[in-house]
Amino acid sequence: MKNKEYTLITGASSGIGKALAFRCAARQMNLVLVALPCTGLRETAEEISEKYGTDVKIYEADLTENSIAERIHTWCEEEKIQIKYLINNAGMGYAAAFETVKMNFFNTMMKLNMNAVVAMTHAFIPDLKKISGAGILNVSSMASMLPIPNKSVYAASKSFVLSFSRAMYQELKSYNIHVSCLCPGAVPTSEQVKERMRNGGWIHKLFSSKAMTVAEKAVSRFLKAKPLIIPNYADNIVFQISKLIPANIRIALMGRIMGFNKSK
């Protein structure tokens, strides 16, 4: 008997990941939701299943652990779960001068933002090749477009995700696997981000979007196999204009848009 097809979403207990889960379920996709333990994942799964009637499974795990992607893949095989869409959403960020952040935090962030994306993609590609029209959606950020003061390592990690996604798009298109990269601007997913948005004035609000709005546009364009998804209209304008602006000016502009000032 053919296994049921599922969409696997990492970081699915909150923020964009949770919103993506709701929007995928609204399209009658069965889901595998992955997130840290004790983050409300089970409650999210129950809410989605009750609202949309889709099958929702959960796997609680820390994606920074060694070999976790292989363990998730093995579990899917044991549960007869066929992954058609892989959404690598889990990530973390910060807002502070580089030297004030401890290396342990940076190491964890790089494992989650970069290593986990690579590991999950590597683990599931053989399965995706077996399904016509399979796809991978990697969640990056507008911060991937250029360096950002006080978000130096975060921006670099998201640049990695964008570059990796573009390369995988070319590698996998001959297997009928489409790879998309989502680059949202500011999304109020934490109190820290909300505070920066309040302090950033009208410019920061212009370049911000609600998680559910981002998710709806992301899923719609992902299913249309768009390689690059910039959900906010204002962000897209800046992206197009930025190609014509010298790098040093672009960096200063992006720093202003993201709500940061030069460190003192």
Question: Which residues does residue 137 pair with via DSSP β-bridges, in sequence order?
Answer: 87, 180
4-257 belongs to CATH 3.30.9.30? no
Q: What are the φ/ψ torsions at residue 79 (nearest 5 degrees)?
A: -90, 5
Rounded Cα distance, 20 and 214, in Å: 8
Q: What is the pLDDT of residues 229-248, one digit of tens each?
A: 998 766 767 666 667 778 78
Predicted pLDDT of residue 145? 86
Q: What three-state secondary structure class fits 46?
A: helix
Per-domain boundaries in the chain = 4-257
Rounded Cα distance, 111 and 207, in Å: 28
Quote the tokens at residue 119.
């590991």
- 8 A C-beta contact, residue 11 and residue 34: yes
- 8 A C-beta contact, residue 106 and residue 156: no
Q: What is the pLDDT of residues 103-132, one digit of tens each?
A: 999 999 999 999 999 999 999 999 999 999
Rounded Cα distance, 93 and 113, in Å: 9
Reported pTM: 0.88
Active site residue 169: no
Q: What is the pLDDT of residues 190-216, one digit of tens each?
A: 555 555 555 554 445 554 568 899 999
- How many CB atoms sit inside 10 A of residue 251's CB? 17
Length of the chain: 264
Q: How many CA atoms lie within 13 A of 144 on its CB side?
A: 25
Spatial CB neighbours of 147, under 8 Å, sequence gap ≥ 6: 155, 156, 251
- Tell me whether strands 81-88 and 178-182 are parallel, antiparallel or unpaired: unpaired
Q: Quote helix, strand, coil % in the chain, to nearest 5.
A: 55, 15, 30
Quote the tokens at residue 192.
């820290």
Rounded Cα distance, 198 and 195, in Å: 5
Q: What is the pLDDT of residues 41-76, one digit of tens each?
A: 999 999 999 999 999 999 999 999 999 999 999 999
Q: What is the pLDDT of residues 151-179, one digit of tens each?
A: 999 999 999 999 999 999 999 999 999 99
* Set 6, 85, 154, 169: catalytic member: 154
Q: What are the φ/ψ torsions at residue 183 (nearest 5 degrees)?
A: -125, 80
Quote the tokens at residue 29.
């996709």
